[in-house]
Structure 1
Amino acid sequence: MNKKHSRRAWALITAAVVAPCVAVLPTEAATMPFKDIKNSGSEAELYKAVSELYGLGIVFGTTSTTFSPYQQLTRGEAAYFLAEALKLDTKNVENPGFNDVPTSHTYYGHIAALAAQGIIQKGTNYSPNNYMKRSQMAKILTLGFNLQQATTLSAPFADFTEDVETNQYIQTLLNYGITEGTSSTTFSPYMDIGRGQMALFLYRTLQKNDNHLYIISVE
């Protein structure tokens, strides 16, 4: 069969719920411009995740040829990644009133869009240059994709936070198989998350999420 005609055509059917539309992963990865991730061994899944998310405009590199997967992710970058994955309107937004996120800020539209959806809380500051923590990542992914939240904690982590709701977000991602602990008994909720880790978690969430968008493959 001719390669051109063997490519899959994707038909998209939205679910009958009121929820943000989410991005659809392409059948073929876009050309990967980043040279600091290998398409082999332990980085193979990361390579695929970054390649496909980059092709969708969800993630971006630190330069034209580097993604810096092990560099800490800022809260501003996290807002961009998630808002783009959810296909939120980042132009027509209401100012959430963060003192440290003026309308001229690079990530203003993305941060404002998440605040409007209740994915991040409005307040005095957002701290866009601070690093995103693993527990914070669990919260924004759970809320952003309307994942079915865990009601009980079954993970054997001795370092769960003191906040029950935060622990439920962590358990939710564990239940979905989106993330795992840093060891058999620790989750490290206050550890900074890396750019590559966030790309992986977003990619896995998009693959597992079926509450908003169904994908049908047609030959």
Structure 2
Amino acid sequence: MSTKKVHKAWAFATAAVVVPCVAAMPAEAAAMPFTDIKNSGSEAELYKAVSELYSQGIVFGTTSTTFSPYQNLTRGEAAYFLAEALKLETKNVVNPGFNDVPTSHKYYGHIAALAEKGIIQKGTNYNPDHFIKRSQMAKILTLGFNLQQATTLSAPFSDFTKDDNETNKNIQTLLDYGITQGTSATTFSPYTDVRRGQMVLFLYRTLQKAEDDFYIISVE
């Protein structure tokens, strides 16, 4: 496998798609109000990620003083986080027609914005209160940030899904970009729920890479 560095304007796939404007990371984040994440040890990166994304209005806590990083993330919350990270228009949006997402729903604008961009698929229901899976997370990040999708599966995961190669490619894409990793040396756990803290880390790492040059990973 070889790696070459390219300017970020060319690191995204699909020439016909304009890369969405993403939030720039501030030099210093505002003081974080959440007391359930430590700014040390194994939580140091998470603390920094939550602090910076919270200061930009991209993520929110479960209370005024707790973020609940180990609580599972709902599909509605995921839509909010991603739409805000991409700086999408969430007010003047086209109704995607989900039966379970009326215009009065608290995440309606964010869900509609993602549907309008083709980041999530339109259908009968969106299930905003269901937990988002790791495979679904890989899809919305790959599509949302127009990451160059992997063409070869190089990870040694025994749980790559056999009937959905598109999902496998999205998972491999995040691995190639260094946004996430497996749950073990041989598993990705695509149908495991994503936790709130994990999603923040994935978004933070992707936004950090958007500031700098991306790396295109090619397997030879």
TM over 0.5: yes
**Does the 8 Å CA contact 2:24/2:211 hold for their aligned counterparts?**
no
Match of 1:37 in 2: 37
Contact 2:135 2:171 in 1 (8 A): yes
* Distance of 2:9 and 2:92 partners within structure 1: 25
1: CA distance, partners of 2:131 / 2:182:
19
2:48 pairs with 1:54:
no
Counterpart mapping for 1:119-130 below 5 A: 119-130=119-130
Runs (4+) off by over 6 Å: none
1:132 positional shift: 0.4
Give the whole-Å Cα distance in 1 for the aligned partners of 2:146 and 2:78. 17
Partner residue, 2:87: 87
* TM-score, length of structure 1 as denominator length: 0.88
Residue 211 of structure 1: CA displacement?
9.0
Alpha-carbon contact 2:29-2:51 (below 8 Å) kept: yes
Q: Does 2:114 match 1:114?
A: yes
Q: Which residue number in structure 2 is paired with residue 216 of structure 1?
A: none
Aligned to 1:99: 99
Q: Does 1:198 align with 2:170?
A: no
Report the AA paired with residue 61 of structure 2: G
Name the residue aligned to 2:4: none
RMSD value, Cα: 1.7
The answer (yes or no) to whether the contact 1:19–1:212 under 8 Å persists in 2 is no
**Aligned-pair identity (%):** 81
Letter in 1 for 2:175: L
Q: Unmatched 5+ residue regions in structure 2?
A: 1-7, 11-16, 215-220
Q: Does the CA contact (< 8 Å) of 1:152 and 1:168 recur in 2?
A: yes
Q: 1:161: how far off?
A: 1.4
1:208 Cα deviation after fit: 1.1
- AA aligned to 1:54 is Y
For 1:93 and 1:56, how far apart are their aligned partners in 2?
A: 22
- Contact 2:96/2:116 (CA < 8 Å) preserved in 1? yes
Residues of 1 paired with 2:28 and 2:204: CA distance?
Answer: 14
Please give the alpha-carbon distance, in whole angstroms, between the structure 1 residues aligned to 2:105 and 2:80. 12
Contact preservation (8 Å) 1:22, 1:212: no
Give the CA deviation at 1:20.
Answer: 1.4
TM-superposed CA distance for 1:18, in Å, is 2.0
Aligned residues: 200
CA distance in 1, matches of 2:188, 2:18: 32
Q: Which amino acid aligns with 2:70?
A: Y
Deviations 1:57-93, CA, capped at 9 Å, x for gaps: 0000000000000000000000000000000000000
Is the 1:21–1:212 Cα contact (8 Å) retained in structure 2? Answer: no
Name the structure 2 match of 1:179.
180
Could you say which residue in structure 2 is the equivalent of 1:158? 158
Distance 1:161 1:211, change over 3 A: farther
Normalised TM-score (structure 2): 0.88
